[in-house]
């Protein structure tokens, strides 16, 4: 073997050329290898992307299968049966859900034609159902519903509600009828029980002196007795299909609609209202209503017994007139004071009270304002208020301080009302314009308000003191304020004002009362009083007051200017 040193120059050049050729081949192989590696990386990337896509598709497929299985499970356990049948009069089933097994049948029996749906319709209903379907098809209805009976495989008869809709192809041709079947046997059974119950008690209802109404879940009248017809002057035929709201005046209807949820959330309810008779008479009634439910608790109707309160209301109105005659009938004239008072009862008679008294043992211009509130309202509260007024007037005419007067009044009331659970709150205010002095006793009543326009501030006439009629021997303390000034406004009211509730469940509140007094402070006492009641009525629009409302306004004006001591 020749060494490089022994080789000729030409031989070396040839060998060098040979190596160069080999090197070029290696470079080409490297380039080819690089291209192959790039292709492999691209294929690897595509493979990874495809794996991710397949994983997502598998996950989506798994989720869809799971949702489909869940939906199928819901359908299987649902009382609602799904169906689809070919259009036409063959009634050939194309699909029916597996929960048909609740009736003892397998869907395959209808799909393969072994059974026809007509075969399981109760024999007395078959012709009617077929005639109805043909009539619906002839009328080209897109949706229709039916009620009929099916016979289960075991021979049990069940009622179903059939809701069917039409499926059309792109040309508008009917190709399928599809819909749902719902087992309404329980509802029908309840309706049948109700019908039998009606028959059982109809004689009792028809001979009752009270008006009776049977209504569906939408309050449409289904039946009435003769007493109700006599009460309102309509025949039974005229009343069927109406609702009690149709016979009510706007005020009563507005109250019912505004408080519908509150009224009807109770199974047993009682409220007073009015009906307008056929001859235009306004009839006050007391209604006792009940909600009717089936065995499953579903509302299927309502009943109500209505008592004509005309004679009762006449007696109450007369009592109310007597009670109102006990309230001040004239505006008191006191030098330096403009005074106005008003009482509005939520019923014909109430338990609120206000009065104006002159003290014989005081200076000739000193007089007192009394505002009281017996707990509750109605006849009992009105009688207690009358008793309290009589004693207070009698005792105030005798010598003694206002604390002594109220303490003795409390002792008297304890004997009258302690066992009844009633009590009376009272604010007794004595005003001496000459001395520019206020003296008051607060017996569990909300503090009176004093508004000073020059500062824009309100002050409360506070003080301790229990409600009257609670503890025998309790000693009430009087409080005093001096420096009464022109322009100041005193307001003494009952909680029926600030606790009044509107249709949204909001309370009127003391802030609205203060805002109204501040807004109309430049007006007379009568105007301020009127504006408070206007604001209150607007706030409560559509809502019947639940408590008596009493307010006394005193505007200080015309007091002589203060003189500096010499």
pLDDT digits (tens, 9 = 90+) for 430-472: 999 888 999 999 999 999 999 999 999 999 999 888 999 989 9
Residue 45, pLDDT > 50, answer: yes
Question: Whose structure tokens read 């598709």?
Answer: 57
Phi first, then psi: give them for residue 447, nearest 5 degrees: -60, 145
User: What is the dotted CATH code of the domain comprising 208-314?
Assistant: 3.30.450.20
Specify the pLDDT at position 360: 56
pLDDT band per the 50, 70, 90 thresholds, residue 71: low
- The three-point CA angle 20-21-27 to 5° equals 90
What pLDDT was estimated at residue 277?
Answer: 93
Report the pLDDT value the prediction gives residue 72, as an integer from 0 to 100. Answer: 62
Q: Tell me what the mean pLDDT of segment 274-286 comes to.
A: 92
The whole-chain average pLDDT of the chain stands at 86
Listed in sequence order, the DSSP H helices in 78-116 are: 107-111
Distance CA 267, CA 290 (A): 6
pLDDT single digits (tens) 145-184: 999 999 999 999 999 999 999 999 989 888 899 999 999 9
Asked whether residue 262 carries a pLDDT value surpassing 50, the answer given is yes
Closest C-alpha among 464, 443, 460 to residue 513: 460
User: Is the model's pLDDT at 428 over the cut of 70?
Assistant: yes
Structure tokens at 394: 């009698």
Q: Where does residue 199 rank: exposed (0-12), middle (13-18), buried (19+ CB within 10 A)?
A: exposed
Going by the DSSP 8-state scheme, the letter that residue 103 receives in this structure is: G
Give the pLDDT of residue 566: 45
Q: Which of 163-172, 189-198, 356-365, 509-518 has the lowest mean pLDDT?
A: 356-365
Structure tokens at 90: 């063959």
pTM: 0.55
Orientation angle between helical segments 509-519 and 525-539, nearest 10 degrees: 140
Q: What is the pLDDT of residue 422?
A: 84
To the nearest 10 degrees (0 to 180), the angle between helices 379-396 and 402-417 is: 150
Which DSSP category does 365 fall into? T
Task: Evaluate whether 357 touches 368 at the Cβ level (below 8 Å).
Answer: yes
Q: Can you tell me which residue has the tokens 């080409």?
A: 28
Query: For the chain, what's the residue count?
Result: 566
Least confident interval from 70-74, 235-239, 247-251, 441-445: 70-74
Q: Output the pLDDT for position 5.
A: 63
C-alpha distances in Å from residue 334, one per residue of 51, 64, 331, 358, 464:
100, 88, 10, 10, 29
Picking from 130, 126, 128, 132, the residue whose alpha carbon sits closest to that of residue 145 is 132
pLDDT for residue 248 is more than 80:
yes
pLDDT value at position 406? 93
Instruction: Select from 560, 487, 490 the least CA-distant residue to 523.
Output: 487
Residue-level pLDDT at 554? 96
Question: Model confidence over 215-229: pLDDT tens digits?
Answer: 998 889 999 999 999
Query: Residue 25: pLDDT above 50?
Result: yes
| 62 neighbors 154 (Cβ within 8 angstroms) | no
Q: DSSP secondary-structure letter at 313? A: H
Instruction: Quick: pLDDT tens for 508-547.
Output: 999 999 999 999 999 999 999 999 999 999 998 757 788 8
Residue 50's contacts (CB-CB under 8 Å, 6 or more residues apart) are: none
Give the pLDDT of residue 153.
Answer: 93
Identical fold for domains 208-314 and 327-556, yes or no, is no
Angle between helices 310-325 and 379-396 (to 10 degrees): 10
Q: Which helix (H) or strand (E) holds 304?
A: strand 299-308
Question: Which tops the pLDDT comparison, 144 or 40?
Answer: 144
Where do the structural domains in the chain lie, given as residue ranges?
A: 77-188, 208-314, 327-556
Residue 425 has pLDDT above 90, yes or no: yes
- The share of the chain scoring above pLDDT 90, in percent, equals 39
User: If you classify domain 77-188 with CATH, what class do you get?
Assistant: alpha beta
| Fold topology of 327-556 | Phosphatase 2c; domain 1 (3.60.40)
């Amino acid at each position: 073997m020749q060494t490089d040193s022994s080789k000729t120059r030409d031989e070396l050049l040839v060998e060098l050329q040979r190596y160069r050729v080999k090197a070029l081949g290696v470079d080409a192989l490297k380039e080819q290898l690089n291209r192959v590696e790039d292709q492999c990386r691209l294929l690897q990337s595509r493979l990874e992307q495809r794996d991710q896509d397949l994983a997502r598709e598998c996950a989506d497929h798994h989720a869809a299968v799971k949702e489909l299985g869940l939906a199928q499970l819901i359908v299987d356990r649902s009382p609602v049966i799904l169906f689809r049948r070919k259009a036409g009069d063959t009634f050939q089933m194309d699909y029916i859900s597996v929960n048909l097994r609740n009736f003892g049948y397998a869907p395959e029996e209808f799909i393969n034609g072994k059974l026809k749906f007509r075969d399981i319709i109760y024999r007395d209903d078959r012709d009617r159902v077929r005639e109805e379907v043909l009539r619906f098809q002839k009328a080209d209805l897109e949706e229709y519903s039916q009620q009929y009976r099916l016979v289960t495989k075991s021979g049990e008869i069940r009622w179903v509600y059939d809701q069917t809709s039409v499926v059309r192809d792109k040309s508008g041709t009917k190709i399928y009828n599809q819909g749902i079947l719902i087992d309404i046997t329980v509802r029908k059974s309840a309706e049948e029980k109700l019908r039998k119950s009606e028959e059982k008690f109809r004689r009792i209802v028809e001979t009752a002196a009270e008006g009776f109404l049977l209504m569906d879940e939408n309050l449409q009248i289904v039946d009435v007795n003769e007493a109700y017809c006599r009460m309102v002057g309509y025949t039974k035929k005229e009343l069927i299909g109406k609702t009690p709201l149709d016979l009510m005046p706007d005020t009563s209807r507005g109250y019912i609609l505004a408080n519908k949820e509150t009224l009807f959330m109770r199974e047993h309810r009682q409220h007073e209202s009015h009906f307008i008779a056929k001859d235009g008479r306004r009839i006050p009634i007391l209604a006792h209503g009940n909600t009717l439910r089936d065995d499953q608790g579903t509302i299927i109707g309502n009943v109500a017994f209505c008592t004509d309160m005309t004679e009762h209301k006449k007696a109450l109105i007369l009592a109310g007139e007597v009670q109102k005659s006990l309230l001040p009938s004239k505006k008191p004239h006191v030098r330096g004071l403009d005074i106005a008072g008003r009482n509005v009862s939520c019923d014909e008679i109430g338990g609120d009270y206000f009065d104006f008294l002159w003290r014989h043992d005081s200076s000739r211009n000193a007089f007192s304002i009394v505002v009281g509130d017996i707990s509750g309202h109605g006849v009992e509260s009105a009688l207690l208020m009358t008793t309290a007024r009589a004693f207070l007037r009698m005792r105030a005419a005798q010598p003694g301080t206002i604390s002594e007067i109220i303490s003795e009044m409390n002792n008297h009331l304890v004997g009258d009302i302690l066992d009844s659970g009633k009590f009376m709150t009272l604010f007794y205010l004595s005003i001496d314009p000459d001395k520019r002095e206020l003296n008051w006793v607060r017996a569990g009543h909300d503090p009176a308000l004093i508004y000073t326009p020059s500062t824009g501030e309100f002050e409360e006439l506070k003080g301790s003191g229990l409600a009257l009629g609670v503890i025998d021997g309790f000693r009430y303390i009087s409080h005093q304020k001096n420096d009464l000034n022109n322009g100041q406004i005193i307001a003494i009211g009952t909680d029926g004002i600030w606790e009044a509730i509107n249709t949204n469940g909001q309370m009127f509140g003391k802030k609205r009362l203060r805002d109204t007094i501040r807004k109309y402070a430049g007006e007379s006492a009568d105007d301020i009083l009127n504006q408070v009641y206007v604001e209150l009525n607007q706030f409560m629009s559509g809502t019947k007051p639940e408590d008596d409302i009493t307010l006394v306004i005193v505007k200080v004006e015309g007091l002589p200017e203060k003189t500096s001591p010499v």
